[in-house]
Amino acid sequence: MSTSDDLAFLAALQLADSAMPIGRFVHSHGMESWLADKPNATECEITVLVHDVVAASVAPLDGVILAHAHAARTVEAICALDRALTARKLTPPARAASHSSGRRLAAIAPKLSADELIRGYAHAVLDGDADGNIAVVEGVLGRALGLSVRHTVLLELRGVVAGLLSAAVRLGRLTPTEGQLAMRALAPGLAEAASRALRESLDGMFSAALTVDIHALRHHRSETRFFAT
């Protein structure tokens, strides 16, 4: 392994680390409400739900945008992708989760890399001229830190899976070990979903995770909740 591969690998680990302070842990992406509705959900059913969210929503939408953001070479092009993603996020909580974590990462990104594009785009986000969807920020930052587009997409998908599973663990519905076993079981599905996201054009993007979208909306109106979404 060359030094630059090592640095990219370490950058990937850092971006995936829950120590990165971008507020991922306050979002359950509908998981809290889904679990409340299914008091007897098994480990297997939870794993299937997480797989469906990634395969039917995150990969074909955020994953596709991320891949294009990774390839984009102007701040204008990146901001256009950012707007396109916001427009396709169906629910207010989905937009809120994507924007709040993305903006936090945009605030840190220019301190992690001197790359001109990430600086220019982060500036636009912090000035309120761009939405700062997390997938877009990760795409631009991933390239700046030397990650391949494939690895950056995988990083994004893994982040969503980790968030959903961690919410289930914190709500006492999976043990931490079960959470890790589910993460491992989902790995081949993540790789496949990433491959599809990399093949997809912007016109072919879609998001169709109705079950969690409905639960995210229900959660949005709930009076008692641990998670922001």
Residues at the contact surface with another protein, assessed by CB under 8 A: 19, 21-28, 100-101, 103-104, 167, 170-171, 223-228
What letter represents residue 6's amino acid? D
Helix 134-144 vs helix 149-170: crossing angle, to nearest 10: 130
Rounded to the nearest whole angstrom, what is the least distance from the CB of residue 162 to another protein in the complex? 13
Compare residues 150 and 170 and give the one whose CB is closer to another protein: 170
CB 128 within 8 A of CB 73: no
C-alpha 84, offset from chain centre? 16
Compare residues 9 and 25 and give the one whose CB is closer to another protein: 25
Rounded to the nearest whole angstrom, what is the least distance from the CB of residue 168 to another protein in the complex? 11
CB 64 within 8 A of CB 195: no
Helix 176-199 vs helix 43-53: crossing angle, to nearest 10: 20
CB 169 within 8 A of CB 175: yes
In whole angstroms, give the CA distance from residue 178 to residue 148.
30
The residue to which tokens 């994507």 are assigned = 98
Rounded to the nearest whole angstrom, what is the least distance from the CB of residue 171 to another protein in the complex? 7
Rounded to the nearest whole angstrom, what is the least distance from the CB of residue 196 to another protein in the complex? 30
Compare residues 42 and 222 and give the one whose CB is closer to another protein: 222
Closest CA to 22 of 115, 134, 147, 184: 134
Closest CA to 16 of 190, 204, 202, 168: 190
Rounded to the nearest whole angstrom, what is the least distance from the CB of residue 57 to another protein in the complex? 20
Compare residues 206 and 226 and give the one whose CB is closer to another protein: 226
Compare residues 111 and 184 and give the one whose CB is closer to another protein: 111
Rounded to the nearest whole angstrom, what is the least distance from the CB of residue 18 to another protein in the complex? 8
Compare residues 84 and 171 and give the one whose CB is closer to another protein: 171
Closest CA to 29 of 139, 155, 163: 163
